[in-house]
Amino acid sequence: MSSRIENELKNSLESLGIVDLFMPGVANLTAFDRFASLNVDEAIHQATVEVNEEGTVATAATGLINTRVGIGHKSFVCNRPFVFLIYNKVLGVTLFVFCNDRLHKTQQQGSRELFAGRFSTPT
């Protein structure tokens, strides 16, 4: 069994009084970029749960989107197989490793998950 939900959060956040975040020239996001006048255009939350005979896997992500930033575009061309990982320096654990070793196949066939670490806290 699996379930997925996606919600647009802007109206909910505004009804809670979080309105400056969405207003150009008013939002204070200087912690992200002290020189740019940033604001949020969209806020989206997505969650998934999959339950099977092996156990349960749950994911959640929230994205804040600004569609009017005038920052230059930089390209990163992956023209050979590559591996990347997400590492938590504070906890000293690898959270996720991804490998793409078939660049000329379709996207669905071209990537595979090598390892998904689990979150842990130091003892």
Average pLDDT for runs of 10 along the chain of length 123: 92 94 87 79 92 91 78 67 82 82 52 41 42
Q: Where are the beta strands (DSSP E) in the chain?
A: 2-8, 42-52, 55-65, 82-88, 93-100, 112-116
Overall pTM > 0.85: no
Q: What is the pLDDT of residue 106?
A: 46
Which residue, among 35, 8, 13, 33, has the nearest Cα to 23 in the 3D structure? 13
Q: How many Cα neighbours within 13 Å face the side chain of 68?
A: 10
Q: What is the pLDDT of residue 87?
A: 83
Distance in angstroms (rounded) separating the CA atoms of residues 116 and 57: 11
Pairing between strand 93-100 and 82-88?
Answer: antiparallel
Q: What is the pLDDT of residue 107?
A: 46
Q: What is the pLDDT of residue 66?
A: 83
Residue 22's identity, in one-letter code, is F
Q: Where are the beta strands (DSSP E) in 53-92?
A: 55-65, 82-88
Q: What is the pLDDT of residue 17?
A: 95
Q: Where are the domains of the chain?
A: 2-65, 82-116
C-alpha distances in Å from residue 91, one per residue of 52, 59, 94, 119:
30, 20, 9, 9
